[in-house]
Amino acid sequence: MKKLLWEIQRRYPEIRILESNTGEDHLHMLVSIPPKMNVSKVINLVKSNTAREMREKYHFLDQVYVDRSGIWSVGYFVSTVGINEEIVKKYIEYQGKEDSGQAKLAF
């Protein structure tokens, strides 16, 4: 997944993916976008590009998700970050370990 995200950043240099981590059924990202870009547009770019790449790489997904929009759910959660960006970066970096009990972080 990280390779796909970096490819999106290469295609759209104004989008900076600062941190990312994947779960079994979700993705955490810290993204910097210019004020001229709409957050929903960026989410759409990420979802559509990663879904297309995953379908090309894993052909069995066409049988699992018949609907072309089926890989990602419709919803998403977005929060803006200001002064506590470092805390959010650490949260994303260690999210998988925290979920499995491997890391003990206090936020």
Q: What stretches of the chain adopt beta strand conformation (E)?
A: 16-22, 27-32
Angle subtended by helix axes 2-11 and 39-57, to nearest 10: 120
CB 30 within 8 A of CB 85: yes
CA dist 49 and 40 (Å) reads 14
Which of 12, 65, 76, 91 is the catalytic position?
91
Q: Is 76 a catalytic residue?
A: no
CB 18 within 8 A of CB 34: no
As annotated, the active-site residues are 91
